[in-house]
Structure 1
Amino acid sequence: MEFTDDLVTGNTLIDGQHQELIGKINDLLRACETGDGKVKALKTLDYLEEYTNFHFSQEEALQEEIGYPGLKEHQAKHQEFVQSVKELYEMLEDQEGPTDAFVQQVNKNVVDWFVNHIQGFDRLVAEYKKSAK
């Protein structure tokens, strides 16, 4: 996964955090692909979950600060992601290591969700912030 121009929101703090998250997502995918095993994948998933929670709180604080009207819906989308990560934990704990099915779920529940979320929800926040100035 790459941080490309279509993922730029224009908010330096949020864009920097998105780059960090993409790095962690790539670490998780590498751990799965290189056969580093369950422990490495779990540790990477732990860090991804921790950093995601930090990032979501930062995004939501920014939205509160600017009076963003879609905050509740945005929070609900964040909760969907948190639930997806929990499901990945469960899936990984039930296996001896990252399987092809697990990697497919990471791509669907993490990579695809994240790209769609930034391009949709996060861009709307950035546009609202610009127009509110």
Structure 2
Amino acid sequence: MKALFTPSLLTGDEMIDTHHKELFKRANDLFESIENKESAEKVQETLGFLADYTTYHFSEEEKLMEEVQYPKTEDHKKMHAALVEDVKNLALKLAAEGPTKDFEDQVNQKVVEWLYTHIKVNDQELAEYKNVRSQMDNLQ
């Protein structure tokens, strides 16, 4: 399984796009560790790297939302919190069952597919809002 970062996922915001590419890299590292049949501990460590970077990215993105006074900040934060909770549940599943095919499928569904949808809808909207706001600020 592989998570592909495609040009359609670009938001036009350098920080956000760089972070998203890193999230996809870390998701692929996780898939690779599963496919290589690495130990449950190694897969858990790789999932931890993904979880840590996800938390970092969300923190930075939420700071950006506050800076530009994004009107949908609270809803966006709730979406972030839902993914963080899903990743925690995946860690529990991994600890209980090991790196099974079902675990891999759940990572794809709950993390990768979530990222595709969230980026294409919510993050691209945020980046567009930031861009418009910046243009308006420059006119004043």
TM-score normalised to the size of structure 2? 0.92
Q: Flag as ranges the 4+ runs of structure 1 deviating above 2 A.
A: none
Which of residues 44, 47, 50 is equivalent to 2:46? 44
Amino acid at match of 2:123: D
Separation in 1 of the partners of 2:36 and 2:115? 23
Aligned residue number for residue 129 of structure 1: 130
Aligned residue number for residue 55 of structure 1: 57
TM-score normalised to the size of structure 1? 0.96
- Does 1:16 pair with 2:21? no
Separation in 2 of the partners of 1:24 and 1:117? 17
Amino acid at match of 2:126: V
What is the Cα deviation at residue 130 of structure 1?
A: 1.6
Separation in 2 of the partners of 1:36 and 1:19? 24
Runs of 5+ consecutive residues of structure 1 not aligned to the other structure: none
Aligned residues: 132
Which of residues 76, 101, 104 is equivalent to 2:78? 76
Q: Which has the larger radius of gyration?
A: 2
Runs of 5+ consecutive residues of structure 2 not aligned to the other structure: 136-140
Work out the percentage of aligned pairs sharing the same amino acid.
41
Provide the aligned C-alpha RMSD in A. 0.8
Aligned residue number for residue 8 of structure 2: 6
